[in-house]
């Protein structure tokens, strides 16, 4: 009996700890990124009920993203972990934003040239393209081949679930980490790392 009560107590502590933690994702993109994270939010809620808190904000001026994120964290203590998510080529003051975010304990995830680079990792090695247009074209070819759908739409509401149904999220994460670590070695400059994606 005592052992069971001890186990229940540990489980209760774990549950309370999770409920006190929240993720605040701030993105400047109305379509792809927002729809992706909304799908992620639905997945988290189904699997873990209300144990995790995830809010998504879009249509935010990139110059004000950090101020907005800090303001929201001050309002809600559960936002322990903040993520800014954006396409690097849309950020005119990229280096300054990264430095300010780090100084305020804010995580940053950027895609270069577009979010499709990250999503391609679900199906194969991430696309390596400098042009956003070419990157999206290559992703559409990959997406339609893997899913059997006729086309890829940036406004696809079920994009997160389609990626997980026909692709592999763990491989996408592993591939992104490996690329970032490789570009972070002494062989590469900071500018070289910035050319790719952290997501």
Q: How far is CA 28 from CA 53, 58, 85, 90, 183, in A?
A: 20, 5, 7, 9, 26
Could you give the count of Cα atoms lying within 13 Å of 80 in the half-sphere of its Cβ? 9
CB 197 within 8 A of CB 147: no
Partners of 110 in the beta sheet?
Answer: 86
pLDDT in tens, 75-117: 877 777 888 888 877 777 788 888 999 999 999 988 888 899 9
Domain segments of the chain as ranges: 15-111, 114-199
Name, of 35-49, 109-123, 133-147, the range with top average pLDDT: 133-147
Look at the alpha carbons of 128, 130, 131, 132 in this order and tell me if their dihedral is positive or negative: positive
Task: Assign domain 15-111 to its CATH architecture.
Answer: 3-Layer(aba) Sandwich (3.40)
How much of the chain, in percent, has pLDDT values that exceed 90?
Answer: 32
Helix (H, G, I), strand (E, B) or coil at 181: helix
User: Per-residue confidence at 119, pLDDT binned at 50, 70, 90?
Assistant: very high
Where does 88-143 show beta strands of DSSP type E?
107-111
First to last CA, the chain: 47
Q: Residue 9 corresponds to which tokens in the numbers above?
A: 């107590």
Q: Are strands 53-57 and 107-111 parallel, antiparallel or unpaired?
A: unpaired
Q: How far is CA 192 from CA 43, 107, 128, 160, 187, in A?
A: 34, 20, 13, 29, 10
pLDDT in tens, 150-183: 999 999 999 999 999 999 999 999 988 887 777 6
CA distance 18 to 15: 5
Q: How far is CA 51 from CA 16, 46, 80, in A?
A: 8, 10, 14
- pTM equals 0.75
CA distance 44 to 82: 17
């Amino acid at each position: 009996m005592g052992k069971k009560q001890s186990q229940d107590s540990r489980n209760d502590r774990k549950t309370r700890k999770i409920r006190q933690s929240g993720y605040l994702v701030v993105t400047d993109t109305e379509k792809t990124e927002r729809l992706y994270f909304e799908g992620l939010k639905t997945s988290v809620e189904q699997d873990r009920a209300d144990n995790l808190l995830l809010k998504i904000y879009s249509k935010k001026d990139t110059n004000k993203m950090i101020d907005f994120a800090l303001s929201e964290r001050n309002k809600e203590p559960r936002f322990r972990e903040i993520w800014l998510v954006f396409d690097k080529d849309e950020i005119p003051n990229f280096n300054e934003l990264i430095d300010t975010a780090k100084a305020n304990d804010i995580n940053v995830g950027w895609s270069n040239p577009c979010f499709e680079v990250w999503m391609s990792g679900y199906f194969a090695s991430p696309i390596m393209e400098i042009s956003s247009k070419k990157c999206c074209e290559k992703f559409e070819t990959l997406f339609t081949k893997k899913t059997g759908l006729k086309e890829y739409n940036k406004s696809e509401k079920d994009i997160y679930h389609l990626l997980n149904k026909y692709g592999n999220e763990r491989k996408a994460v592993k591939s992104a980490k490996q690329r970032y670590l490789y570009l972070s070695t002494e062989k590469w400059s900071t500018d070289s790392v910035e050319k790719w994606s952290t997501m």
